Each structure stands twice: as structure tokens, then as C-alpha cells.
Amino acid sequence: MGLNNRIPAGELAQKWSTYKSTCKLVNPANKRSLDIIVVGTGLAGASAAASLAELGYSVKTFCFQDSGRRAHSIAAQGGINAAKNYQNDGDSVYRLFYDTIKGGDYRAREANVHRLAEVSGNIIDQCVAQGVPFAREYGGLLSNRSFGGTQVQRTFYAAGQTGQQLLLGAYSAQMRQVAIGKIKEYNRHEMLDVVTIDGKARGIIARNLVTGEIERHGAHAVLLCTGGYGNVFFLSTNAMGSNVTAAWKAHKKGAFFGNPCFTQIHPTCIPVSGDHQSKLTLMSESLRNDGRIWVPKKQGDTRKPNEIAEEERDYYLERRYPAFGNLVPRDVASRAAKERCDAGYGVGSSKMAVYLDFASAIERYGKTEATKQGKSNASKEDIIAMGKDVVKEKYGNLFEMYAKITGEDPYSVPMRIYPAVHYTMGGLWVDYELMTNVPGLYALGEANFSDHGANRLGASALMQGLADGYFVIPYTIGNYLADEISTPKINTNQVAFDEAEKAVTDRIHHFMNVKGTKSVDYFHKKLGLIMWNQCGMARNEQGLKQAIADIRALREEFWKEVRVPGTADSLNPELDKAGRVADFLELGELMCIDALNREESCGGHFREEHQTEDGEALRHDDKFMYVSCWENKGEQGWDLHKEDLVYDVIHPSQRNYK
């Protein structure tokens, strides 16, 4: 299969408007008879489903949760970027485009990213119109804050619950279409296969998670908006149910997987507290606006943080990256934390943590507040108290969450943080139209690989999910469906559906009948550990080769030894998990293969063999200026296809945040 990224010709800044003016359209009467399946109801899925239904298409949505509103986009805290330049600080579409490409360490497509920057402003407008209660200034206008990897304030937010508010906005638009019958919802359903007929995606096989019933759904196009695969590491900031299954089934049906090894490790998460740990909790990047990150200057220092004097603290990000300081991109901040902990400067009982300290911010805000209130001779205690109030207003919910999880008061003791798996830049390969190489099969949001290169900037995931769903797919899908208007409603009694359903049923039957000795979680945890140790923040050839062998062995053991209790015809969370972990066990191998193949360091992918003298990522643009597109060959493994990355406007250089 050849790869055509379908990037329109012409000037970069004109490509999208040219595309929009020239793509094929489907007339309203024809739209009604075209069915579209949307799998996943996060930002990308809900926004796409709502927008397509508004246009007149007949849409079906699927999600494994009990309601569309629960998709994990809801947990995004910090904000959403948009090149509005409301702050008059020099922002522009070009700068957002440039920052995103640079932040992604020059491994993203120029045309996609430019389009993303172009539509970013429309997203804010759309969300405001839907009644999303963004933070505002006293004058009634929208408020902004800054995020990592940028020098402007372009992040819009709603306290520490921006993802929630944006998702509920998209969900409300989706519910409006459900009410008028344009969208039919299938909640507590899991997609277990894509059905292709004559090479085109024509439907899916889904399992009703309550009754266990296997269902066939036909459609003229299938959109996978199923998020990322960070849970391959077992411990991540993803939701417990987040999984790769939908994307993986598509991959096995011919869709290429792009850059699977590009994983984002988020620098500010609450550290692991014990073996029981089921997931990791993120502390928003917005905290790095005001918090300062440090470790003791002395190795193995066991003193309490408040007993360590100012001059004995190493604010290592400010020291190493004076220009960006605590607001360096995520990959850089994470690696710096790992470097300090590995060198023996870590803090806390596990020594795998660094401090995120608000003391100086509290004092600074307290002084400003004292001046504002005209208290020129306020005591130190008063200043601290006023400062705490300001910090509480800005980050209250995050501080509370930290206190609940750790039992410590972050207003008086610095937070302990450590990097954790957060986002996957890799995903299904898609062209400019967000279509995979399987015609009629699309991937949107985190599920695709397209916009963030090797590292995503903070507050850009929400932007991409909504850009794809609200402003890209409504145009690009028409370009495909215009040629499908004479295709009648998809008949689900065709052989392809029979075969797909049989494969799904057989697999479930297999899980139920292994009757092994070990739980699904046992395998998931083992896989996670392999991935974290060998394919996490730092990777090397030997480790990756070992990991591949270990994963293969684990996979074999899984199919022989897994124990799935209960029955297949009832609500059975263990059965759901078994299917997901089986797919992770295959994906993990591909991630390691990809990481092994990419003999350079870029963004979140850090190969120890390839670093500069001062430990920064060292790219090899001459050899790896491409997207790795992996084709599944079943038992034979994978074939690598390369999509060359062509930079017409930006000149890739060594990223510099100093």
C-alpha cells in the first residue's frame, strides 16, 4: 500500500483555505442517507459526532463508559491554546504553528500543524457560544495563562477543569443531536473490530458490555476517536478504561500505525506510593507558572524540605534553562527530573521525586495583595495568608486533590512530583484529511499521530481534539463521502461481517476458556513495568531488544495462563480488560520495535546513545526526518513505511530553551 498524505499544493498558509474551497461537497438530501460511526465520545468524538449530525449525516456514537460525558478528555486540567493574541503579547497563527512544530522537535507535518493553528481561534469562539464558562477578567473578557514551551499567554482555561468544561460543551451539542434523533448513542459498548469490504471501512463489530451481546453496525465511514494508548504502561495518567483496542483492530485490518514510540511523559505527577497503585494523577502544567522545581544540592539529603535553606537548593530547571526556566516543554522537564533523581538527588521516601514549591509564589502574591489592600506594614504571616488565598483561587482544586491523595498540605510543604506517562503522540497514521490508509476509516484526536510530532505542548491536546472534530472532519469527510452517495445502506449480513463477528466471538470464547491461574492485571502490571523500564523516559538498544523478547514471552504466557472469571453474556469488567490487555501486549512490542528503529533522540523519545554533551536530545535529521508508518503483517510482524517530513517554511534546528 502506498502512502499519500494528500497535502494540498500551494503556500503553507493557503493550503487549508484552498482545500476548503475546492473539496467535494455532499448535498443535504444525500447526507441524510449516509451513515457515520463515531467510536469514542471524548473531545474529538463528541465534537465530530455533533458537527456531522448538524450537517445532516446519520451518526451513531459508541463509548465504553456509561455516558458520553465520562470520556477521559474530561480530566484535562490546564487549558486550551488558541492564537487569539488577546493579550497583545505578539501571538499569531504563525507563532502557534512554530511553537508546536518546535515543541514537537520537528517531527510533525507542517501543513497539519498550520491548519491546527489557523482553526484554534474558532474553537474558542465555538466553545464560548456553547456556554462553556471560561475564566474571565473583571472587564468580562476572556482570561489567559501561559504554558510550557511558549513565551506568550495563549492558554484559555476554566479553573483546573478546562477539559471537563470543553467536553461537557461538546457533549451538550451531541445530546442536542441525540434528542432530535440525528445521533443514536451506544453507551457501555466496546468496538471490537472494524469491518472492511473491498478495502473500504464499512462498519464495526461492537459488544454490549452489559448484556455481552455482539452487535453489527454498518456505515459509510468509521471515525476512531478513541484516545491514546498510555495505559500500555499500566501506570499512567489515563483513565482506567483508556485502551488501544479500537485503534489496534484498525491497525490489524490494514491501517498503519504512526510513530508508536512517541510517548509523552508528563513532568508533574504525584509519585507512586506503593505496589497497590492503580493509576497516576497529574498535577497540571499550569502549576509551573508559579511553582518552582528544586532538589537539595546535597546528594541523599534526608532533611525535611522546610529545613533546607535557600542556598542549599538546586532550582535545576532555572539553572539549566534560564530563558524558559520552569516552563520548558514537558519532555525536557521530565528528563531533567529523572536525571536529578538518577544522580541521587531525589526526595521523599522513594527518592524518586522532586519538589514543586509554591513558597515564593505565595510570598510574591501576598506582597502584591498587601499593596493592593493598602497594608504597607503587613506582617509576614499576614502576607503569607493573603498569598495563600491568591494561590488557592488559582489552583485550589489541584491543591485539594494533592492533599487528599498524599495527606500532606501543599500550601505549607512543597509538593512532591515525578514524571508519569501522560499522552501518546503516536497513533494511527492519517493523511491531511484525517483518513487512515484504509479508505473510509478516519482517526481523530489523540488516536491519530498527526500534529504533535515527538512531543506535545501543554494545552494542545484539547486544541487538536476539537480542531479535528469541529473544523476539520466536517470538510474532509465530504470529500470522501461525495463518492459514496450511490452506496446504499450497508447491509450487515455480508460475509465480511460474518467473519469479523466470528473472530470476535472466538476470541471471547478463548478468554473464557483459558481458565488459567493469573488475573488480567497481573499481566498488565508486568507489561507496564517492562515498558516503563525499557521504553520509558530513556531507551537504549539493549534494553529495547530485551523488552521485545520479554513482551513476546509475556504474551505467550498471557494466552495460556490468564484467568477471566464470570460469563461472556453479562457485565464482566474482567473480560473487557482481558481484550484490552491482549492488544496492549501486541502494541508494546511494536512500540519497542519503533523505538529501536529510531536511532536518534527527539522529543519524548530519548535514546541514550544519542545525546549532546550536556545531555540534551540529539536528532539525526539526515536519517530520521520521517514518520514511521508500521504495517501489520500478522505473525510475520511489521513492515516499515516512511513518510518523509518536508519542511518548506521552518528550518529545523536543535531545540534551545536556554
Is 330 catalytic? The answer is yes
CB of 49 to another protein, least distance (A): 11
Give the contacts of 600 (CB within 8 A, at least 6 positions apart): 607, 610, 618, 619, 620, 623, 624
From CA 96, how far away is CA 154, in angstroms rounded?
Answer: 9
DSSP helix/strand/coil, 356: strand
Rounded to a whole number of angstroms, the minimum distance from the CB of residue 179 to another protein is 4
For the record, the C-alpha cell of 367 comes out as 506582597
Whole-angstrom distance, CA of residue 530 vs CA of residue 488? 48
Cβ-contact 458, 288 below 8 angstroms:
no
Angle, nearest 10°, between helix axes 520-535 and 541-561? 170
What is the Cα–Cα distance from 443 to 45, expressed in whole angstroms? 10
Answer for the pair 635, 652: CB distance below 8 angstroms, yes or no: no
Mode of pairing for the β-strands spanning 189-197 and 354-357: unpaired
From the CB of residue 563, how many other CB atoms can be counted at a distance below 10 Å?
15
DSSP conformational letter for 640: E
- Of 210 and 553, the one with the shorter C-beta distance to another protein is 210
CB of 576 to another protein, least distance (A): 11
**Beta carbons of 443 and 250 less than 8 angstroms apart:** yes
Three-state SS at 642 = strand
DSSP-derived pairing of the beta strands 58-62 and 183-186: parallel
Q: Which three cell numbers stand for residue 390?
A: 491568591
- Residue 585 Cα distances to 109, 231, 254, 523, 582, angstroms: 29, 11, 18, 9, 5
Measured CA to CA in angstroms, residue 87 lies from 40, 141, 146, 179, 358 at distances of: 35, 11, 11, 39, 25
Nearer to another protein, 519 or 540 (CB): 519
Give ∠ CA 514-516-519 in degrees, rounded to 5: 110
- Are 316 and 342 spatial neighbours (Cβ–Cβ below 8 Å)? no
Identify the CA nearest to 72 among candidates 242, 216, 220.
Answer: 242
Residue 539, CB-side half-sphere exposure with 13 Å CA sphere:
33
CA dihedral 100, 102, 108, 110 (to 10 degrees): 80
Helix (H, G, I), strand (E, B) or coil at 215: strand
Q: Where are the alpha helices (DSSP H) in 469-599?
A: 473-481, 495-514, 520-535, 541-561, 573-597
Contact, 78 vs 147, CB < 8 A?
A: yes
Say if CB 36 and CB 26 are below 8 A apart.
no
Which residue in the list 330, 340, 539, 619 is annotated as catalytic? 330
Angle formed by the axes of helices 162-179 and 43-55, nearest 10°:
30
Give me the active site residues, please: 330
